[in-house]
């Protein structure tokens, strides 16, 4: 089969490799579409540990073409989205429904071969059925939507709450839309790119262009000086985390959704005491999140079409990674169709 093989940072090329073996309990998937995310870029650039060579890719959809011995619940021809996390199902985290925290786990396309290939083999529980009404391309949103859903479960937005979402990349826009659907009013969408803010406005948000106004002052002015109930930081930077802690009201919550660096410069520690802020972390996905994502897409509550800004083929994986790496302000979702 054809696969995009990364043999060292930046050293990626399309190669002929054997089809993945079908172990007991596995299903073989013909990959139909894969989206490129920031983690893929980090692996490509050598910023995230992995064992080379590796076939990347983890936000994917496809068709079941072979069912291994002992695999259940799936049949040849089923349309599926692939759950990206690998988990053991036997540790205390897995037993408690927190496979995303499994200490024996990993990621498709990092610890095990991923979906930038014609075929990928996964355990049956990592292939989740997808209805005909959701295209393979649109279905690549489901991994990101599931990640957002897991985070939103931790904060429990109620109607009438005031919410700000810092960063309107793919997952930031998803947070914006789901916050609006949950009844938050207003939802302030903050970003430097006006075209992304235009999408946020379509999703029901008040756009705040941080290149034109101070977002902290804008939100304080709009809330009578109090601040918002909840801020979702979807960038993963020290400066934006401080903004979040400044614009949230006393007793409010900041969801740290963006992957923050190991050390955060200029951390606003005094706000933890003076304002009694709650900081919430969130990591990866659980299977429950896919159900919500399917419902949102199937019922027309979330329109993922504006998020797909670029399209590539399997032999253009390097081009897709380079684009997302070098021009992040011009891209939301780069999707590789097979």
Q: What is the pLDDT along the chain (338 residues), one digit of tens a residue?
A: 999 999 999 999 999 999 999 999 999 999 999 999 999 999 999 999 999 999 999 999 999 999 999 999 999 999 999 999 888 888 999 888 888 889 888 899 999 999 999 999 999 999 999 999 999 999 999 999 999 999 999 998 999 999 999 999 999 999 999 999 999 999 999 999 999 999 999 999 999 999 999 999 999 999 999 999 999 999 999 999 999 999 999 999 999 999 988 888 888 888 888 899 999 999 888 777 898 899 999 999 999 999 999 999 999 999 999 999 999 889 999 999 98
Going through 38-104 in order, the beta strands assigned E by DSSP cover: 54-55, 59-67, 79-82, 85-86
Do 210 and 260 reside in the same domain of the chain? yes
- Name the residue range of residue 99's domain: 2-146+285-337
Q: Where are the beta strands (DSSP E) in the chain?
A: 2-8, 11-16, 26-36, 54-55, 59-67, 79-82, 85-86, 106-107, 119-123, 127-129, 163-166, 187-191, 206-209, 228-233, 248-256, 278-281, 308-313, 333-337
Complete DSSP assignment for 176-215: HHHHHHTT-SSEEEEES-HHHHHHHHHTT-EEEETTTS-H
Q: Rounded to the nearest 5°, which phi and psi values hold at 228?
A: -95, 160
Q: 81 and 228 share a domain?
A: no
Specify the number of domains making up the chain: 2
Same domain for 20 and 137, yes or no, is yes
Q: Which pair of tokens denotes residue 261?
A: 């660096």
Residue 98 is part of a domain; what is its CATH number? 3.90.180.10
Is 137 in the same domain as 47? yes
* Domain match, 272 and 163 both: yes
| Predicted structure pTM score | 0.94
Regarding whether 119 and 180 lie in a shared domain, the answer is no
Any idea what DSSP says for residue 332? S
Q: Are 12 and 129 found together in one domain? A: yes
Tell me: do 166 and 78 sit in the same domain. Answer: no
Q: What is the largest CA-CA distance in the chain?
A: 63
Q: At what angle do helices 194-202 and 170-181 cross, to 10 degrees?
A: 30
Q: Counting Cβ atoms within 10 Å, is residue 273 exposed (0-12), middle (13-18) or buried (19+)?
A: exposed
Q: Are residues 44 and 142 in the same domain?
A: yes
Single residue among 256, 281, 306 that ends a domain in this structure: 281
């Amino acid at each position: 089969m054809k696969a995009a093989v990364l043999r060292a940072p930046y050293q990626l090329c399309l190669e002929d490799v054997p089809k993945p073996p079908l172990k007991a309990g596995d299903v073989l998937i013909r990959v139909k579409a894969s989206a490129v995310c920031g983690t893929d870029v980090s692996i490509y650039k050598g910023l995230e540990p992995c064992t080379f060579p590796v076939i990347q890719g983890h936000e994917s959809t496809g068709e079941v073409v072979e069912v291994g011995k002992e695999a259940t619940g799936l049949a040849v021809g089923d349309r599926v989205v692939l759950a990206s996390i690998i988990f053991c199902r036997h540790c205390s985290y897995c037993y408690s429904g927190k496979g995303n925290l499994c200490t024996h786990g990993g990621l498709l396309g990092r610890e095990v071969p991923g979906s930038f290939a014609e075929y990928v083999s996964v355990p049956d529980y990592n292939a989740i059925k997808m209805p005909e009404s959701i295209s393979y391309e649109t279905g690549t949103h489901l991994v990101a939507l599931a990640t957002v859903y897991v985070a939103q479960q931790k904060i429990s937005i109620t109607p009438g709450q005031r919410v700000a979402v810092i960063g309107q990349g793919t997952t930031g826009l998803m947070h914006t839309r789901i916050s609006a659907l949950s009844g938050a009013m207003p939802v302030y969408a903050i970003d430097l790119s006006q075209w992304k803010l235009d999408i946020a406005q379509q999703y029901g948000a008040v756009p705040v262009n941080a290149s034109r106004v101070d977002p902290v002052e804008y939100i304080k002015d709009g809330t009578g000086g109090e601040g918002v109930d909840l801020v979702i930081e979807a960038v993963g930077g020290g400066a934006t985390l401080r903004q979040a802690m400044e614009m949230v009201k006393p007793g409010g919550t900041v969801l740290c959704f963006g992957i923050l660096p190991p050390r955060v410069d200029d951390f606003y520690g005094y706000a933890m005491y003076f304002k009694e802020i709650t900081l919430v972390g969130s990591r990866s996905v659980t299977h429950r999140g896919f159900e919500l994502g399917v419902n949102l897409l199937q019922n027309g509550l979330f329109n993922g079409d504006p998020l797909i800004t670029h399209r590539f083929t399997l032999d253009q994986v390097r081009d897709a990674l380079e684009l997302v790496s070098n021009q992040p302000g011009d891209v939301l979702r780069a999707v590789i169709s097979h």
